[in-house]
């Protein structure tokens, strides 16, 4: 199915404080963010007209910028308000949103303290396509060849563009082999995360998830830990060796885009999505609904 290229859509993008027609939201080829990955972003979803955990996403965006040594020139309140305006201006209710901040084009060399920091916010329709039943079939993952690096080599807590280079490479390799995604190990050989989502494993009423000490501690991940406990599961965060996957019955990914996605296979290890996946897919989809709608 042909999809409209991302730069050819209709709508409005919030760009440095102005609503700009979608196709006009451009930047120069000599932009520092493009050459040196001085760019941070968020992926957040609106459900029923409200962005789930908007303030947490906005705070992570500001934190990511600080981690890359730049200050986004808008307050958290201003960014939250801009996100709401983007939804309203585009008449969106259920949408994926992409705030992105980057260093501009005043100078083009490694140091860039004086370059302007830009912020843009786009949103588009990206519904949850799968019913619970479809999700419960599970997706197939292979092992990635690339490893999540040590915190001493990259700012691993930032949601920064440069960290996605190995994610794109790993996802391409997985797709070439017919898999939906790849599961990455970390620099020590422990299980880390998928290319854009965190991972959980289930054995009975016990859930185990990798300790996020060198990769993104996802907002969905933290939400899921709370929901799992509320649903009677114990949750342990610890280092997991790949061979331990043989001991688990269920596996699922979590992320803003992935929501809760059951997994049926990781390389040589097989899983059967069952009670835990069903309970947590449903608990998450209920949790993300705006409070007012959920109360009705």
Task: Record the tokens describing residue 85, joined without a space.
Answer: 């305006």
Contact with ligand PLP (CB under 6 A) among 221, 233, 252, 277: 221
Please, which residues bridge with residue 193 across strands? 184
Active-site pick, 147, 159, 177, 241? 159
Q: Binding segment for ligand PLP among 26-34, 61-69, 193-201, 242-250 (CB under 6 A)?
A: 193-201
Q: If residue 254 lies in a helix (H) or strand (E), which one and from where to where?
A: strand 250-255
Contact with ligand PLP (CB under 6 A) among 33, 65, 210, 218: 218
* CB-based contact 46:164 (threshold 8 Å): no
Residue among 31 and 254 whose Cβ is closer to ligand PLP: 254
Size of the site for ligand PLP (CB under 6 A): 14
**What is the bridge-based pairing of β-strands 259-266 and 269-270?**
antiparallel
The distance of closest approach from Cβ of residue 254 to ligand PLP in the complex, given in angstroms and rounded to an integer, is 6
* CB-based contact 235:207 (threshold 8 Å): yes
- CA atoms within a 13 Å half-sphere pointing along the CA-CB vector of 78: 12
Applying CB under 6 A, does 198 fall inside the site for ligand PLP?
A: yes
Residue with tokens 């929901």: 227
171 flagged as catalytic: no
Which residues in the 256-295 window bind ligand PLP by CB under 6 A? 256
Q: Binding segment for ligand PLP among 85-93, 114-122, 248-256, 285-293 (CB under 6 A)?
A: 248-256
Q: Binding segment for ligand PLP among 21-29, 109-117, 216-224, 260-268 (CB under 6 A)?
A: 216-224
Surface-to-core class of residue 93, CB atoms within 10 Å of its CB (0-12 exposed, 13-18 middle, 19+ buried): middle
The distance of closest approach from Cβ of residue 135 to ligand PLP in the complex, given in angstroms and rounded to an integer, is 16
Q: Binding segment for ligand PLP among 66-74, 192-200, 239-247, 262-270 (CB under 6 A)?
A: 192-200
Which residues in the 149-178 window bind ligand PLP by CB under 6 A? 167
Q: What residues contact 80, with CB distance under 8 A and at least 6 apart?
A: 54, 55, 58
Task: Record the tokens describing residue 108, joined without a space.
Answer: 């083009």
Applying CB under 6 A, does 99 fall inside the site for ligand PLP?
A: no
Q: Binding segment for ligand PLP among 9-17, 18-26, 194-202, 281-289 (CB under 6 A)?
A: 194-202
Applying CB under 6 A, does 220 fall inside the site for ligand PLP?
A: yes
Q: Residues 276, 279, 280, CA angle at the centre, nearest 5°?
A: 85
With b for 16 or more beta-carbon neighbours within 10 A and e for fewer, the 136-162 pattern comes to bebbbbbbbebbbeeeeeeebbbbbbe
Say whether 40 sits in a helix, a strand or coil.
strand
The distance of closest approach from Cβ of residue 296 to ligand PLP in the complex, given in angstroms and rounded to an integer, is 26
Q: How many residues does the chain have?
A: 296
User: CA–CA separation, 93 vs 289, rounded Å?
Assistant: 11
Which residues in the 37-76 window bind ligand PLP by CB under 6 A? 43
Residue among 31 and 64 whose Cβ is closer to ligand PLP: 64
Say whether 18 sits in a helix, a strand or coil.
strand
Return the residue nearest ligand PLP (CB atom): 218
Residue among 108 and 257 whose Cβ is closer to ligand PLP: 257
What is the contact surface with ligand PLP in residues (CB under 6 A)?
A: 43, 167, 193, 196-198, 216, 218-221, 254-256
The catalytic residues are 159
């Amino acid at each position: 199915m042909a999809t409209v290229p991302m730069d050819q859509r209709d709508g409005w993008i919030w760009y440095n404080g102005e609503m700009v027609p979608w196709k006009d939201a451009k930047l120069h080829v000599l932009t520092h963010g493009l050459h040196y990955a001085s760019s941070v972003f968020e992926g957040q979803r609106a459900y029923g007209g409200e962005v789930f955990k908007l303030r947490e996403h906005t705070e992570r965006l500001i934190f990511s910028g600080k981690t890359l040594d730049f200050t986004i020139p808008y307050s958290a309140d201003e960014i939250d308000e801009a996100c709401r305006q983007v939804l309203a201006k585009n008449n969106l209710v259920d949408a994926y949103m992409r705030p992105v901040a980057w260093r501009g084009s005043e100078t083009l060399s490694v140091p860039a303290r004086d370059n302007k920091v830009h912020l843009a916010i786009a949103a588009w329709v990206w519904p949850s396509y799968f019913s619970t039943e479809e999700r419960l079939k599970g997706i197939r993952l292979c092992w990635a060849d690339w490893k999540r690096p040590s915190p001493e080599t990259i700012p691993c807590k930032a949601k920064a563009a440069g960290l996605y280079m190995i994610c794109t490479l790993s996802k391409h390799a997985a797709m070439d082999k017919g898999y939906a995604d790849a599961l990455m190990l970390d620099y020590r050989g422990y299980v880390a995360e998928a290319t854009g989502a965190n991972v959980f494993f289930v054995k009975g009423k016990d859930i185990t998830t990798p300790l996020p000490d060198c990769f993104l501690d996802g907002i969905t991940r933290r939400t899921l830990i709370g929901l799992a406990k509320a649903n009677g599961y114990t949750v342990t965060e610890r280092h997991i060796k790949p061979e331990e996957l043989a001991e688990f019955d269920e596996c699922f990914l979590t992320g803003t885009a992935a929501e809760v996605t059951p997994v049926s296979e990781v390389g040589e290890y097989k899983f059967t999505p069952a009670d835990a996946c069903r309970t947590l897919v449903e608990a998450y989809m209920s949790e993300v609904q705006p409070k007012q709608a959920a109360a009705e």
